[in-house]
Structure 1
Amino acid sequence: MNTNNDNKKRFIVLAIFLLGIFMGAIDSGIVSPARTVIKNSFGISESLSVWMVTIYTLAYAVAMPIVSKLSDRYGRKKVYLTSIVIFAVGSFLCGISNFYGNFTFFLIARVIQAIGGGGIMPIANAFIGNSFPPEKRGTALGFVGGVYGIATILGPTMGSSILDIAGVDHWGWIFFINLPICLLILALSYTLKENLGENNKRMDLKGSLVLSIMILSLMYALTNLNYFNFSESIKDLHVYPFLILFVICLPLFILIESKADDPILNLRYFKERQILLTLILGFITGVGLMAVVFIPQFAENILKIKTGNGGYLVTLMSVFAGISAPLGGKFIDKYSAKLVTVLGMLCTAFGTFFLAFFTTAHPSFASIMIGLIFVGFGMGFTMGTPLNYLMLSFVGERESASALSTLSLIRSIGVAVSPNIMINFIAEAGKSVQGKVMAVMPEPSAPTFPGSQYVSGYFDMSKMTNGGGISSTAIEKLKSADVTNVVDVLKDFSSNMLDKVIPTIKDKILGAMSAAPKGAASQINLDKIFSDWKLDYLNKIESARATIENTFQTAISAGYRNMFITAGVIAVIGLVAALLLKNKKKPVSQ
C-alpha cells in the first residue's frame, strides 16, 4: 500500500515538473514565427526586433545559475513555484503588450518571463532526479528529456498554429497560453514536499554579479559574431568590447569563487575530468539542437513544398525524439548513461551525414525521413537524460540544482554559437543561387516582322535590362524566392523588366524605321508584336520550369549539405567525448 502511495506521489511530482519543463521549453521557440508579426505591430525595424529573442536568451542564461543556487539554499519547492509565478506574470505582461504598452514594455516583460523560466529547467531536473531512487532515476529523467525535446521542436509549430487560430492581430495569445499551465502547476503543488534548502553559508553576491556580467558579455558577443568572416566580425563594436569584458572578468571571477563559502558556480566542475566531459557534451548537444531550426526550410527545398509546411516534418521528427528519450532513460537504468550518450551521438552523426550526402543527392520524402528518424532518435538519447543523470551522479545532492544549471548554461552557450555557424552555410549557398538560375534562364529571341532587319540589335538582353529600373518589390521577391515559387517569381520579374524596357525599345524602333524604306513602318503593329513576344518569352520560362527548379534546389542544397556535414563532425567529436566517459559513478568530494 505504501508503495502505491509512493508511486502516486512520484507521478504527481513528475506531472508538476514536466508541465513546467514543457511550458518553458516551448516558449523558447514559440515566438519565432510571430517575430515579424510582433515587429509590424510595434512598427520597429528588423534589427531591433531581434531583441525580443536575444533579451530572453540573455536573461534566461543569467538567471539559471543564480536561481538554481537559491533553490539549493532556500528549498527547491519554494523557488520553483516562485519561478512559475514570475514566469506567469511575465507571460501575462507580454500578452497584454499586444493591446497596451510599447516595445520597451514588451522587452521588460520578456526579461521577467526569462527570469522565471531560468529557474524551471534545472530545479525540475534536480527535484525529479532526487525524488526517484537510483534504479528508477534514468526512466524519470528520460520523460524529462522526451518532454523537453518534443516541446523545443514543436515550439515554432505551436506558435504558427496559435497565430492561425487567434489571428495575427492577437499575437498576445502565444503568451496567454502559458497562464492555465501555470495555474495547473500551482494547483497540483499542494502535495509537493520541500526538497533540501536551509544552507547557512553566506550567499555569493560578488560571484553572482561578476558571473552575470560574464554571461551577458560572452553570450552577446557570440550572438553577434560571424564565424565565416571571423577576422572582420571580431572587430565589430558589438563583439570585441564584450569579449574583452569577459576576459577581464574571468580571472576576477575565479579569484572570488576560490574564496567564497558557497560559490555560485563550483570551479571543481571544470577540474573533475568526468564532469568536464559532461559539460563538453552539453555544449555539443546545444550546438546540435539549433541545427534542427533549419530542418523545415531544408525539407521545403528537398520536397519542393510550400513555405511553412516543412514544420510538419519536424513534428514527425519530434515523435521519434519523444520515443527515444524515455527509452534512453530505461537503458540508463539497465545499462549506463555512457551507453545511451554514445548511442545518441552515433544516431545523430549517421542521421546528419545521411541528410548531407544521400538526401541532398537523392531528394525524396523517404530519404529525408530516414535522416530525420536517426536525428530524432539521436536528439532524444542526448537531449538531457544521460547528461543530467551523469551530473547528478557526480555531485552531492545538496548542489544538484546548481550543477544542472551549470550544464544548462554551457548548453545555452552552444545554442548561442550554433545559429551563426549554421546559417552562414545557407547564406553562402544563397549568394550563388541567382547567378546559377539566371544561367539556365531562356534567352528571348528577337521577333520577326516586316522591317525587323533594321532594328534587330535592339533586342539584345543586356541592352534591354539597361532600359529602365526594375521595381524594388520585384527584386526583393527574387531574393526571397524558394523552390516552390522561383519560376513564378522569375516570370513576374521578367514581366516587370519587359514592361519597363519595351516602351524605350518601341521608341527606338520607330526612330530607326523612319529611316527605313518608305512604307515599312506602316506594315507593323508594334503593340501586338511586343505583346505576343512577351507572352512567348514567359511561356519559354514556364517550359524551363523543371530545369530552373532543379538548379535552384541543387544550389541551396549545397549549403544545407555543408551545414549537416558540420553537424555530423560535431556529433563525432561528441562521440569521442562520450567514449572517454567512465561508467562508474564518481561523486565530487564534498
Structure 2
Amino acid sequence: MSHDPHAPAPTPTPATAPLVDLGGRSPWSILPALCLGFFVIMVDTTIVNIAVPTLQTAFSATLTTVGWVNSAYLLSFAALLLVTGRLGDRFGPRPVFVWGLVVFTLSSLACGLSGLAGSIELLVAARAVQGVGAALMTPQTMSMITRVFPRERRGAAMGVWGSVAGLATIAGPLLGGLFVETIGWEWIFYVNIPVGIVALVLAVRTLPTLPTHSRSFDMVGVVLSVVGLFLLVFGIQEGQSFGWGRVIGPVTVWWILGAGAVVTAAFLAWQKRRGPDALLPLTLFTHRTFALANVGGAVASFAMIGIFFPLTLFLQQVLGLSALHAALVNLPGSVLSGIVAPFAGRLADRVPGKWVVAAGFGLLVTSVAWVALVVEPGISVWHVYPPMALFGVGTGMLFSPLAALATSGLAPATAGAGAGAFNMNRQVGGVIGSAVIVATLTSRIAVEIPAALARASERLPDDVREVVGSLAPSLSSGLGAAGAFDVPAGVPADIAAQVREVVLGAVHAGFATAVGQTMLLAAGVLTFGLVAALAMEKNPH
C-alpha cells in the first residue's frame, strides 16, 4: 500500500513499527527536519552559479576569484563527508545533524553580511564554513532514515528524501535568478536563515537519540582522507584556472593531483590495516550493490551538476535569454522530479530497486542526448523544455531508490560510514563532472568557433574575409556575457555590418556545436550509471 507522509500516524504494528522508540510517534515525524536541512544543502550547491556576473561587479573581482565562492563550498563539503559520517556513528546522528545545522545557518548569515563588508575573502571563507555544516548534516539524513524506518517503509521514506534532493538541485538556479534580479544576491544566502531556524526547532523536538557505537577514532585516517581528497578535488576543480600548469613556485596542478593520489593510496592502505575500526571499512565495498550504488551516485551527480553549465550558457549567450528566463527552463523538470520521487521510492519497495534506478538512468541518457541534438542557433526555447522535463522525471527516479540500495545491506554499526561514503562519492562525482564539463566545453569552443568562422568566410568578398580573419583569435572563446565584439576602427560601415552578421552567426553556430558535443559526453558518462544499475543484485541483503 502507499504511504502518505502527511497522513495521521498509523498505529505501529510489528511489520511497520519504527526500529527505535519514538515515544509512540510515527517514523514520518523525523522527516520534516531532515528534509529541510537537506534542501538548503542541495540548493546551495547550484544557487550561486547564476549570480557569478553579479558577484564580479559587486566585489570588483575576477572570474577566478569569484569561482572560489563555489569551489570553497564544494571542497570543504566533499573532503569532510567521510569523516562526518563516522562522527554520526560515534556520537549519534542527532547531535551531529543539529550542530551542522547551526554551523550552516550562522555561516549563511556571514555570507550575506560579506556584501556589507565588501570582502570577497570573507564570502569565500564563510562558504567554506558553510560546506563544513553541510558535510556534518548530509550523512546523518540517510543514516537516520535507515535506522528509524523499517525496511518495508524505507523506500517510501527515501522517496520523500529523494524528492527534496531532486527539487533542490534543479530549483537552485531558479531561486538564484529570482533573488539576483529582484531583492539582491545576498538573499541567496539569507533565505537559509529562516529555513535553518525552523529545521533546528523541528530537529530538537522530533529527532530521536540513537544508540552510538563506541570505538577508537581513526585520527590518522581523518587526516589522510581530508588531505588526499582535498588535493584531488582542488586539482580537478581548479586545474583549468591554472591552465593545468604551475600553481605556485615549482608546484604544478599535476604535482597536486599526483600527491593527492599518493595520499589517497596511503589512506586506503591504512584503512585496510585498521580493519573494522577504520574510518572507511573497506568491507563495505564487498557488498556488490553498495559498490555499484556508489558508482551510480557519482555518475548521476557528474551529469546533474555538469550539464547545467553549458546549457545555461547556451540559453543566455546564444538564445539571448535573461538569467531568470534561462532558469525557468528547468522549472517543469523540477516540478516533475518532486512529483515522481515519492512514487519511485514506493515502487522500489515493491519491485527490485535496481530496475527503478536503471529506468531513471535510461531517461537521463535519453534526455541529455536529446538536448545535444536540438541545441543550435535560432531554435525556439520550447525545443529545450521537453527533454529537460524528461530529465526531471529521470532525476526523480534516481535519488531515493539509489540511496536505499546503497544502505540496504549495511549493519547499524556501519550505517553512518556507508552514508558518508555514498554521499562523498556522489559529491566528488559532481565536482569532477563540473571540472570535466567546463574543460571539455572550453576546448571544443576553441576548435568549433574558428572552424565555423573559416566556413562562413569561404564565400565572402576578400575585404570582408580579411576583417573576419583578424577577429578570429579574439573570438575563439565566444562572445562573453555581453554578447558583443568590436570591429576594427576604419572599416567602412557596409563592410562592418556584413562582418557583424557573419561573425555573430558563426560564433553562435560554433558555440552551439561545442555545447552539443559536451552534452553528448555527459550522456556517455550516464551510460556507466545504467550499466552499474543493471549489474546490481535484485534483492540485496
- TM score, norm. by length of structure 1: 0.78
Task: Select 1:572's aligned residue among 527, 530, 536.
Answer: 527
Does 1:89 pair with 2:102?
A: no
Find the counterpart in structure 2 of residue 180 from structure 1.
194
Q: How far apart in 2 are the matches of 1:51 and 1:122?
A: 24
Query: Which residue matches 1:147?
Result: 164
Correspondences of 1:424-443 after superposition (within 5 Å)? 424-431=439-446, 432-433=448-449, 436-437=452-453, 440=456
Residues 1:112 and 2:119 aligned together:
no
| Partner secondary structure for residue 309 of structure 1 | helix
Q: CA deviation at 1:402?
A: 1.7
Give 2:10's aligned residue: 3
Residue 3 of structure 1 aligns to a residue in which SS?
coil
Which of residues 63, 72, 84 in structure 1 aligns to 2:80? 63
Q: Mean Cα displacement is larger for which, 263-272 or 143-152?
A: 263-272
Q: CA deviation at 1:30?
A: 1.8
Q: Counterparts in 2 of 1:110-259, with a 5 A limit?
A: 110-167=127-184, 171-225=185-239, 237-259=251-273
Taking structure 1 as reference, are residues 257 and 333 closer, same or farther at Cα in structure 2, changes over 3 Å only? same
Secondary structure of residue in 2 paired with 1:480: coil
How far off is 1:555 after superposition? 2.2
Take 1:478 and 1:48, find their aligned partners in 2: how far apart are those partners? 19
Shift of residue 332, structure 1, vs aligned partner: 0.4
How far off is 1:341 after superposition? 0.9
Of 290, 301, 312, which residue of structure 2 is paired with 1:275? Answer: 290
* Of 367, 371, 382, the match for 1:351: 367
Q: 1:153 to 1:321 in 2, by over 3 A?
A: same
Counterpart-to-counterpart distance in 2, 1:148 and 1:406: 17
Which aligned pairs between 1:484-523 and structure 2 lie closer than 5 A? 489=484, 493-494=486-487, 497=488, 500-501=489-490
CA displacement at 1:366 relative to structure 2: 4.9
Alpha-carbon distance, 1:481 to partner? 5.2
State whether residues 244 and 254 of structure 2, in contact with CA within 8 Å, keep that contact through their aligned partners in structure 1: no
Q: 2:357 touches 2:533 (CA, 8 Å); kept in 1?
A: yes
Residue 422 of structure 1 pairs with residue 437 of structure 2: yes
SS at match of 1:196: coil
CA distance in 2, matches of 1:2, 1:478: 58
Partner of 2:344: 328
What is the aligned partner in structure 1 of residue 423 from structure 2? 408
Instruction: Show the counterpart of 1:514.
Output: none
Identity of aligned residues (%): 20
Query: Structure 1, residues 394-437: CA drift from partner, whole Å, max 9, x if none?
Result: 21123212211101111122112112322234323433325634
Over 3 Å counting, the alpha-carbon distance change for 1:99 and 1:540 in structure 2 is: closer
Whole-angstrom distance in 1 between the partners of 2:477 and 2:265: 51
CA contact (8 A) 2:104 2:132 kept: yes
CA contact (8 A) 2:159 2:342 kept: yes
The answer on 1:313 being equivalent to 2:329 is yes
Deviations 1:510-563 (A, max 9, x none): xxxxxxxxxxxxxxxxxxxxxxx62x4566578xx5x77654443222212212
The question of whether the paired residues in 2 share the 8 Å contact of 1:76 and 1:197 is answered with no
Which residue is equivalent to 1:54? 71
Report how far residue 338 of structure 1 moved. Answer: 0.5
Describe the SS at the equivalent of 1:581.
coil
Q: How many residues align?
A: 518
Q: Higher Cα Rg: structure 1 or 2? A: 1
- Listed as ranges, the matches of 1:381-392 within 5 Å are 381-382=397-398, 384-392=399-407
> If the length of structure 2 is used for normalisation, what is the TM-score?
0.85
Shifted more, 392-401 versus 349-358: the winner is: 349-358
Q: Counterpart amino acid of 1:378?
A: G
Give ranges in structure 1 of 5+ residues lacking alignment.
446-458, 503-532
SS at match of 1:50: helix
Q: Any gaps of 5 or more consecutive residues in structure 2?
A: 1-7, 13-21
1:182 and 1:397 mapped to 2: Cα distance?
28
Structure 1 residues 236, 411: CA separation in 2 closer, same or farther (over 3 Å shift)? Answer: farther
Alpha-carbon offset, residue 582 of structure 1: 0.6
Cα offset, 1:444, TM superposition = 9.6
Residue 184 of structure 1 deviates from its aligned partner by 0.5
- Please tell me the root mean square deviation across aligned C-alpha atoms, in Å: 3.5
- Verify the 8 A CA contact 1:129 1:140 in the aligned structure 2: no
| Aligned 8 A contact 1:328 1:385 in 2 | yes
Moved more, 247-256 or 202-211: 247-256
Alpha carbons of 1:465 and 1:253: their partners in 2 closer, same or farther (altered >3 Å)?
closer
Tell me the secondary structure at the aligned position of residue 418 of structure 2. Answer: helix
